[in-house]
């Protein structure tokens, strides 16, 4: 499996204070992951401090080679 986090850093808080806002996003979602079984298909939208959707995270299946 793979954990994928994608965040758009073009507007809003992410453009103004990227390190601070990314840190907040990682702390929030890192602490919130225990609510998910973390199986392929799990995921959620990610919101900035103004509650605007700025990305998503998801669990995807991978093939071992």
- Look at residue 10 and tell me if it is in a domain: yes
Each residue's pLDDT, cut to its tens digit, for the chain (65 residues) gives: 999 999 998 877 778 888 998 999 999 988 888 999 999 999 999 998 889 999 999 999 998 65
Task: Report if residue 22 sits inside a domain.
Answer: yes
Please give the tally of structural domains in the chain: 1
Q: Is residue 65 part of a domain?
A: no
Q: Is residue 46 part of a domain?
A: yes
What range defines the domain where residue 46 resides? 2-60
**pTM metric for this prediction:** 0.80
Residue 13: which H helix or E strand, with range?
helix 12-16
- Residue 42 falls within a domain, yes or no? yes
Q: How far apart are CA 10 and CA 16, in angstroms?
A: 9
Q: Is residue 18 part of a domain?
A: yes
Instruction: In whole angstroms, give the CA distance from residue 15 to residue 12.
Output: 6
Residue 55 belongs to a domain:
yes
Report in angstroms the alpha-carbon separations of 21 from 25, 37, 44, 50, 54. Answer: 6, 26, 18, 11, 11
């Amino acid at each position: 499996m793979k954990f994928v986090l994608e965040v758009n850093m073009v507007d809003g808080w992410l453009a103004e204070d990227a390190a601070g806002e990314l840190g907040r996003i990682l702390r929030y979602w890192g602490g919130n992951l225990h609510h998910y079984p973390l199986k392929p298909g799990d995921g959620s939208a990610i919101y900035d401090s103004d509650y605007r959707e700025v990305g998503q995270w998801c669990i995807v299946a991978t093939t071992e080679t």
